[in-house]
Amino acid sequence: MKRDIFQAIADPTRRAIIALIALQAMTPNAIAENFDTTRQAVSKHLRILTECELVSQEQKGREIYYSLEIDKMKEVDEWLEQYRMIWEARFDQLDDLLSTIKKQKEEK
C-alpha cells in the first residue's frame, strides 16, 4: 500500500529521521541511536517512509542503508508554494501599511 507523503511528514519522529538521513545514508541501528525508542519503532517509521517513497534502501554487505529521496520532497515544496505566495503577499501588505504609518508619524 502506497501512503501519502504528507502522512510521512506528519509525524515528528519521521521528520527527524528525514533530517538525519538527508546528509548521509544510515543503517536502522545508527538511526535508532538518535532516539529514545526501540529499534522496532524506528523500523516501522522507516517502512512508512519507504512506502511513501521518501527513502530508499541499499544493501551493502549485511547492512541496509537508508537514504533520502530528495526529489520526492519536491512534492511537498510544490504544495507549500501556493501558501508561500499568499504569505508573501500578506507580508507585502504589512510592509505597505507600516510604511504608511511611519510616513504619517513623520508628517505630524
Of residues 83, 54, 82, the one with CA closest to residue 66:
54
For residues 76 and 55, membership in a common domain is answered with: no
For residues 14 and 46, membership in a common domain is answered with: yes
Residue-wise pLDDT tens digits, 17-39: 999 999 999 999 999 999 999 99
Of residues 48, 44, 46, 45, the one with CA closest to residue 4:
48
For residues 82 and 99, membership in a common domain is answered with: yes
For residues 10 and 44, membership in a common domain is answered with: yes
For residues 16 and 52, membership in a common domain is answered with: yes
Q: What is the mean pLDDT of residues 38-63?
A: 94
Residue 70 grid coordinates = 530528495
For residues 103 and 88, membership in a common domain is answered with: yes
Of 34-38, 44-48, 53-57, 83-87, which range is least confident?
Answer: 83-87
- Give the residue numbers spanning the domain of 30: 5-68
Number of domains making up the chain: 2
Of 41-45, 65-69, 75-79, which range is least confident?
Answer: 75-79
Structure pTM? 0.74
